[in-house]
Amino acid sequence: MSEFRTPSETRRPRRHRVCYIPEQIDKTALTSPPTTRNNPVALMCRDVRTLTGVLPLLPNLFRPFSTGRNTDELSLKGRNSINLVVLVVVTVLESLVFTVMSLSYWVLPGLLSIPVAGLLLGLVWLLCAPLRGPDIVYSSLEGDNIINAARRKKERWVFVNGILQSHYGLKQNCDRLAAIFGRPIIGIHNATYGLVGDLLECIIQRSFSFNTYSIRFTYDQVKAFLVDPTVHKVVLIGHSQGGIILSMVLDLLFTDVPAENMAKLEVYTFGSAASHFNNPLRAINRCSSTARTGVIPYIEHYVNSEDLVPRWGVLYNVRTILENRFAGKIFIRMGATGHMLNQHYLDFMFPPLEAQHNNEELGFLDQVVEVDEATPDARDQFAHRVLNVPARACFAENGRCMSINEDIVSTVGTTFKTVREISRLWRYMEGNDPDDLGGCPCVN
């Protein structure tokens, strides 16, 4: 834990406002994933168009670049420098390969361009070979975390990485998560194909609901944990493209795993590129009299507002495409850049406890959230339009707006609260467990 440092030690911007988008309730089930409403080719065109629109933010993926720790993704020290060089070389060569492949399609006659394209794609695969490794990576534990892990044998924590991540980088992510939350982390490697290849894969996954190998493998692993009677809690963490993978894995699990088993899940994402997040409403909580309870009790998304990937992913699909189903609370670190999990998300959002109080300005967890009331209001207006509810029926006798989907109601109780008071994930830090405080379990 001594390797962690405070923001003052890195001379990075210390304070960013935090915007909070309440969870989408949608009790009338008017929303749905985009692939159920649109032609996949049209979705692909929209994805390319929206991605092009945020390309000016591309440099923000790597800002701030400065780092003082070997395990940060952009560190130029040790093995990480070699890892970075390989990623840069692969991306540059890959860009040239795709350019040649595009030219061959127009220059070469008919079928001759097909074997050329196959050879070039094979070359891309070979270029990325040094970045691959086993499908599963296990974190290393040190000190008190070893003892704490023995107390959490009934939990499984699974992490799926995002774009531009080598096998070595995945191990660094898993080790950092294990150090923060005091639990062993099982990392599932979503292999990289360079920046261009990864973005193309994201578009194909989102637009065509294409279950790539990473999705199928993650599904098998998570399902095995959910049906295991000795496992009582399964926590999924996704970063970047890992958010797409988790959203599609959940879609598959909802079809063949009982709700009681799905209730073991908790899902948390960082910089998610997902276009949707399903969480059906079912009355499965014995302690609740309401039927408006999601099958998965906790879903949270953490975002840097100037990060290209979530601007194309979670933020665009939540704020712009109102008919999209996107479950979970959303915490936005306003004005913040950077897409690297260790360096730009965990370092600022979930620093060690000793670095959270430094007698200077407040950190992420202690920021009072600014509740985004416009998005829930827009959702509710969309519901009124779809259900054709007259405008005069939108207001109660006291003049307050009546929320059909209760998204507006979900903002109540969050005003003047800090991230620490709303977030659940931080309560796992240092090996703690929010469920140890008592309460009715969702499952036996």
**What are the CA-CA distances from residue 389 to residues 29, 69, 236, 261, 355 (Å)?**
16, 56, 39, 37, 51
Highest mean pLDDT among 55-69, 202-216, 364-378: 202-216
341, pLDDT greater than 50: yes
Domain ranges of the chain: 7-434
Q: Is 36 exposed, middle or buried (0-12, 13-18, 19+ CB in 10 A)?
A: exposed
374, pLDDT greater than 80: yes
User: Which of residues 160 and 280 earns the better pLDDT score?
Assistant: 160
Rg of the chain, C-alpha, whole Å: 22
Q: Is 29 exposed, middle or buried (0-12, 13-18, 19+ CB in 10 A)?
A: exposed
Instruction: Give residue 208's pLDDT.
Output: 95
Contacts of 6 (CB under 8 A, 6+ apart): 351, 355, 358
Paired tokens of 75:
């560190």
pLDDT band at 16 (very low <50, low <70, confident <90, very high): confident
Instruction: Give residue 407's pLDDT.
Output: 53
Mean pLDDT confidence for 354-361: 47
Indicate the range of 22-31, 115-124, 180-189, 284-293 predicted with least confidence.
284-293
Instruction: Give residue 410's pLDDT.
Output: 52
Paired tokens of 59:
């440099």
User: Which of residues 172 and 148 earns the better pLDDT score?
Assistant: 172
pLDDT band at 432 (very low <50, low <70, confident <90, very high): very high
Pair 334, 303: CB distance under 8 Å: no
Strands 329-333, 18-21: pairing kind = antiparallel
Instruction: Give residue 441's pLDDT.
Output: 41
pLDDT (tens digit per residue) in 179-231: 999 999 999 999 998 888 899 999 999 999 999 999 999 999 999 999 999 99
Geometric angle at alpha carbon 363, from 361 and 367, rounded to 5°: 95
Instruction: Give residue 308's pLDDT.
Output: 96
Instruction: Give residue 5's pLDDT.
Output: 44
Contacts of 409 (CB under 8 A, 6+ apart): 25, 403
pLDDT band at 2 (very low <50, low <70, confident <90, very high): very low
Instruction: Give residue 97's pLDDT.
Output: 79
Pair 176, 195: CB distance under 8 Å: no
Average pLDDT, the chain: 84
Instruction: Give residue 412's pLDDT.
Output: 52
Q: Give the rounded percent of residues in the chain with a pLDDT score beyond 70.
A: 83
Q: Give the rounded percent of residues in the chain with a pLDDT score beyond 90.
A: 53
pLDDT (tens digit per residue) in 299-328: 999 999 999 999 999 999 999 998 889 999
Instruction: Give residue 318's pLDDT.
Output: 95
**What are the CA-CA distances from residue 406 to residues 172, 174, 318, 367 (Å)?**
41, 37, 16, 26
Mean pLDDT confidence for 363-375: 92
Pair 187, 171: CB distance under 8 Å: yes
pLDDT (tens digit per residue) in 230-258: 999 999 999 999 999 999 999 999 999 99
394, pLDDT greater than 50: no
Pair 7, 14: CB distance under 8 Å: yes
**What are the CA-CA distances from residue 249 to residues 202, 277, 295, 425, 442 (Å)?**
14, 10, 15, 21, 21
15, pLDDT greater than 80: no
Instruction: Give residue 331's pLDDT.
Output: 98
User: Which of residues 42 and 386 earns the better pLDDT score?
Assistant: 42
DSSP 343: I
Helix (H, G, I), strand (E, B) or coil at 129: helix
9, pLDDT greater than 50: no
Mean pLDDT confidence for 95-118: 76
